[in-house]
Amino acid sequence: MTTPPRFAEITDTLARQSIELPSWAFGNSGTRFKVFGTPGTPRTPHEKIADAAKVHELTGLAPTVALHIPWDDVDDFAALKAHAEKLGVQLGTINSNTFQDEDYKFGSLTHSDPAVRRKAIDHHFRCLDIMHATGSTDLKIWLADGTNYPGQDSLRARQDRLAESLAEIYDRLDEHQRLVLEYKFFEPAFYHTDVPDWGTSYAQVSALGDRAFTCLDTGHHAPGTNIEFIVMQLLRLGKLGSFDFNSRFYADDDLIVGAADPFQLFRILHEVATGGGLDEGSPVRFMLDQCHNVEEKIPGQIRSVLNVQEMTARALLVDRAALVKAQSEHDVLGANDVLMDAFHTDVRPALAEWRASRGLPAEPMRAYADSGHQKYLAEQRVGGVQAGWGA
């Protein structure tokens, strides 16, 4: 076993790392062509939280669970909170949903009909109420709003209405709550999206105030976009609120983070690290937003948080003094080598040992496979309706 030099210096930061899991990652998901089910899939928010807690139990990396309203709506959120805490996790970000009601066919916060905007705003008010019950601090807004055909609606009028709607929601925040506005290049709208890029999210949240931030979903960019540059820029501008981690080869594929381009994940985390995003008190929060269409969900989530952890370790191992020196000398190959040296360092053995030292399984994937838990769930969760994006 080889422990990289300086590994001991980074364990404090690693110990602080927390990656929020999305409840919906444990339900079924798919494409417009088909959603495949698997035995053991949760039927209720409680079961989703139990699955998330299992991931945290085995990795120590995922102490909070994000909820999606109405997918995770329950009568008693206080009870849901207690359920989560009993299992060792907390309820985290509340994600609003204004894309699955017939009223939202032509928009929600941007809709030309004031009654539909009212309904969408009120939905966010309800989310804020839920946050009071769950102790969540972040309200995350991702909008499906957009159009499919040139001319279908006024880009400008929609943007202005968006600003007004967001302002009304922002005004309802209390001092401990934050509004986080996600952007997305395309889908489900195919001509224009009302918040398509970081610039639009930045312009909108800057107009709101100090508690409004941008959420960067790593799958929501045009082909070829240098995402770590955006990370740097939003950190510089003080507006990077959170990440939705996943990976993609083509569009918003929502694959396991680090699966499609591990080097990109490394570069992103290097930028986060050097920009202060891993410091104590940083406003940057880490979440997953993924779909496990063909793979098992619980180990899919375990794999995901481990990927983030492993790449964070590599990013922290970058020899920054050597990097700055090579950069200042315009030693292009040397500076690149410093970065690549950290990327190619195999941190897995050291991480395994460190996990064991903290009472966690050295190999969480193997621990889960050996536990028989998947089989147990498949036997227990018989009947009912498996959770998915519809409910």
**What is the closest distance, in whole angstroms, from the C-beta atom of residue 101 to a copy of itself in the complex?**
9
**What is the closest distance, in whole angstroms, from the C-beta atom of residue 319 to a copy of itself in the complex?**
11
Within 261-296, residue ranges assigned H as helices are: 262-274
Q: What residues numbered 261-280 form the site for a copy of itself, per CB under 8 A? A: 261-264, 267, 271, 274-275
87 binds a copy of itself (CB under 8 A): no
Q: What residues numbered 121-180 form the site for a copy of itself, per CB under 8 A? A: 144, 147-156, 159-160
State which of residues 229, 353, 370, 379 lies at the interface with a copy of itself (CB under 8 A).
229
**What is the closest distance, in whole angstroms, from the C-beta atom of residue 369 to a copy of itself in the complex?**
8
Q: Residue 266 CB: number of other CB atoms within 10 A?
A: 23
Q: Measure Cα distances from 54 to 14, 219, 267, 295 in Å.
A: 20, 26, 29, 17
Q: 3-state class of 210 per DSSP?
A: coil
Let me know if 206 is exposed, middle or buried by CB neighbors in 10 A (0-12, 13-18, 19+): middle
196 binds a copy of itself (CB under 8 A): yes
Structure tokens, 235: 């950190």
- All residues at 6 or more sequence positions from 318 whose CB lies less than 8 Å from its CB, including other chains: 270, 273, 338, 339, 342
Structure tokens, 352: 């395994």
User: H or E segment at 353?
Assistant: helix 348-357
Scanning 16-24, 61-69, 121-129, 327-335 for contacts with a copy of itself by CB under 8 A, the matching segment is 327-335
Cβ 254 vs Cβ 248: under 8 Å: yes
DSSP state for residue 126 in the 8-state scheme: H
Q: What residues numbered 7-66 form the site for a copy of itself, per CB under 8 A? A: 29-37
Cβ 92 vs Cβ 105: under 8 Å: no
Of residues 172 and 381, the one with the C-beta less far from a copy of itself: 381
Of residues 27 and 136, the one with the C-beta less far from a copy of itself: 27
Q: What residues numbered 91-130 form the site for a copy of itself, per CB under 8 A? A: 99-100, 102, 105-106, 112
Q: What residues numbered 338-377 form the site for a copy of itself, per CB under 8 A? A: 338-340, 343-346, 348, 365
Size of the site for a copy of itself (CB under 8 A): 105
73 binds a copy of itself (CB under 8 A): no
**Cα 94 vs. chain centroid, distance in angstroms?**
12
**What is the closest distance, in whole angstroms, from the C-beta atom of residue 309 to a copy of itself in the complex?**
13
Q: Residue 161 CB: number of other CB atoms within 10 A?
A: 20
Of residues 156 and 359, the one with the C-beta less far from a copy of itself: 156
State which of residues 8, 15, 79, 251 lies at the interface with a copy of itself (CB under 8 A).
251
222 binds a copy of itself (CB under 8 A): yes
- All residues at 6 or more sequence positions from 277 whose CB lies less than 8 Å from its CB, including other chains: 231, 235, 240, 271, 284
Residue whose C-alpha is closest to residue 301's, from 356, 213, 364: 364
**What is the closest distance, in whole angstroms, from the C-beta atom of residue 35 to a copy of itself in the complex?**
8
DSSP state for residue 194 in the 8-state scheme: S
Scanning 76-84, 126-134, 183-191, 352-360 for contacts with a copy of itself by CB under 8 A, the matching segment is 183-191
State which of residues 12, 174, 249, 385 lies at the interface with a copy of itself (CB under 8 A).
249
Of residues 78 and 203, the one with the C-beta less far from a copy of itself: 203
Cβ 192 vs Cβ 146: under 8 Å: yes
Interaction pattern, residues 283-322, with a copy of itself; x per rule: CB under 8 A? ----------xxxx--xx--x------x------------
State which of residues 186, 282, 374, 391 lies at the interface with a copy of itself (CB under 8 A).
186
**What is the closest distance, in whole angstroms, from the C-beta atom of residue 124 to a copy of itself in the complex?**
18
User: H or E segment at 253?
Assistant: none
